[in-house]
Each structure stands twice: as C-alpha cells, then as structure tokens.
Amino acid sequence: MVNRLSGSPLFKRLASSAAVSKSTRNAVLATVATGGLAAWYVNLYGNPIKAVTLAEHGLHPGEYPWSHKGWLDTFDHQSLRRGFQVYREVCAACHSLNLVAWRTLVGVTHTSDEVRAMAEEAEYDNEPNDEGEIEKRPGKLSDYIPAPYANEQAARAANSGALPPDLSLIVKARHGACDYIFSLLTGYPDDPPAGATVASGLNYNPYFPGGGIAMGRVLFDGLVEYEDGTPATTSQMAKDVTTFLNWAAEPEHDVRKKTGLKVLIITGSLWALSLWVKRFKWTPVKTRRIVYKPPKL
C-alpha cells in the first residue's frame, strides 16, 4: 500500500517539495483514506435490497407539465375553479375536505356572493336554543366544507371497510404529489393485465402501492358540465381536481412564490454588494508593499 502510494506522482510531488510538511502529508493521506472508506461504505450499504416487488411499490407516475410547476408560476385559477366543481360534484360524495373553510375560496376560485350561496346550501349545527336543543342553520363563510360522513366508522361502513382519506393535504401526503394523484385518477385500465390479481372488492390500479385500491374509477368523460365550456374529459377533470387539491394543501402557494422571488432579488443584491465592499476594503491591504529598510550602521 505504502509502496504503491509513494510511487504516485502526487505523492512524489508532495514528498519532494520541501515546503510540504509531514502534517500536510498526513492530512492528505487521512482525507484520501476517509474518502475511500466513505465510498466503500456507500457501495456496500447505499443500495439496500428491498423485499417488495415493483408492483407492491406502485408504478412510478410520469412527470406532467403542471401550469403551476415553475418557481415563478402561480396556480391557474380557472382550473382551480373547475377543480372545485369536480371535487364538489364527484369526490365530495366520499372524501372530506376538513381543513378548507368556505371563506378561503373567496378571491381564489369564486366571488364572495357565490361562496355564500354554496355555503348556505349546507346545514350546520346552531348554538343551543333556550331549551338546550341544537337546531340547524344554513352555512356561513366561516364554516368548513361539510364532510360526507359523520365519522370514520360511518365512512368505512359505506365503503366496505375502506376509509376514503381526507383530501385537504393529500397532495403533500403522497410521493409524486400532483403527478401521482393525476396518474391514480386516470390510471384505471379496463381490465387488469394478465397475471395481476386483485382481491374482491378492490380495483386494479398500477399506481396504487399493491395494485388493488378500494376506490373504483370515478372519472368518466362528460361526467360534469363545466360552466366555462371546457370539454370535461377524464384527463381534464383529473388535472383540474388535482390542481384544486394542490391549492387546498398549499393555499399560500402563489404568495409564497412571489415573496420568494422578492427575497431572492434582495438577498442576491445584498450578497453582490457585500462581495464588492469586501474587495473595496481589502484592496489597500492586498496591494500594499512592506519594505524593510535596514538602518545604516
């Protein structure tokens, strides 16, 4: 080992140069040894063998060009509006959206009059009256979007044991985020491929880990009628509802990106300025010459 190393050009240069001390040489050797050990460790343990098949893992979704994907792209609010319509007319039959209040839709997808009218269609518990009974009242802007089932048990009972998850944060809660949700909604083949088996009561969907999902295909061409005239194809509805669910999970999205841009511009400028100031201040130090004039004896 040592012999081989000492033959290398680097080592020769290090060893021959009088300026290189023993401690520098040790530092170089230690660095090489550390790097080598790290590489060996990664090679050995970096790729663990997994005891799940690819099917159990779920098919990896493709990457889609979401209109809000870039660093500087806002949501497409027309799409959010259509997506909310899809949620309300299709998904809301089974999935709650517990973290979204009606008021948050105002100025995002609908006007306040429109949201107020939608909220009033739902009934909520009122304050107890003088007899202590709880009556119903129409919804207000401050109410949260109503859930389809009273509790988890009711939800499971209605879906043969499977719980439709709350969709408020689902885009953040799944690997692949929007790409996964879109692929899942559009990924039901007419028949499962040869060799794939699904338990009874489950539907085949390659994107869902395991391949068998309790939710059947819910989106079909022409299922909803968009008020803006967009043809309601399966993929259009899936795209719109996914975009809407992304908004539900990240309502701060548009403001966050705009603020991020401003922060980057300001901190970028300050950084450049600080570099300039540093050079400015150090110029006299770096360019000075110290001359020693020996005293005349």
Partner 1 sequence: MAISSVIYNTIFRRNSIFVGTVLAGAFAFEIAFDSTVDKYWDARNIGKQWKDIKYKYVEKDEE
Q: Which residues bind partner 1 (CB under 8 A)?
A: 67, 72-78, 81, 107-111, 113-114, 228, 254, 258, 261-262, 265-266
Q: Which of ligand HEC, partner 1, none is residue 81 near (CB under 5 to 8 Å by kind)?
A: partner 1
**91 DSSP assignment:** G
Alpha-carbon separation of residue 166 from 74, 181, 183 (angstroms): 24, 14, 19
**How far is CA 267 from its chain centroid?**
25
Q: Which of ligand HEC, partner 1, none is residue 113 near (CB under 5 to 8 Å by kind)?
A: partner 1
**127 DSSP assignment:** E
Q: Which of ligand HEC, partner 1, none is residue 213 near (CB under 5 to 8 Å by kind)?
A: ligand HEC
CA distance 168 to 183: 18
The pair of three-digit structure tokens given for residue 151, joined into one six-digit string: 């509790």
* Residue 174 contacts ligand HEC per CB under 6 A: yes
* Residue 239 contacts ligand HEC per CB under 6 A: no
Question: Residue 173 Cβ, how far from ligand HEC at the closest point, in Å?
Answer: 8
* Residue 165 contacts ligand HEC per CB under 6 A: yes
Question: Residue 182 Cβ, how far from ligand HEC at the closest point, in Å?
Answer: 9
Contact status, residue 182 vs residue 239, Cβ threshold 8 Å: yes
**How far is CA 71 from its chain centroid?**
13
Where in 102-161 is the site for ligand HEC (CB under 6 A)?
A: 159
**Cβ within 8 Å of residue 109, ≥6 positions away:** 77, 80, 81, 84, 244
What residues make contact with ligand HEC under the rule CB under 6 A?
86, 90-91, 93-95, 159, 162, 164-165, 170, 174, 181, 184-185, 208, 213-215, 218-219, 241
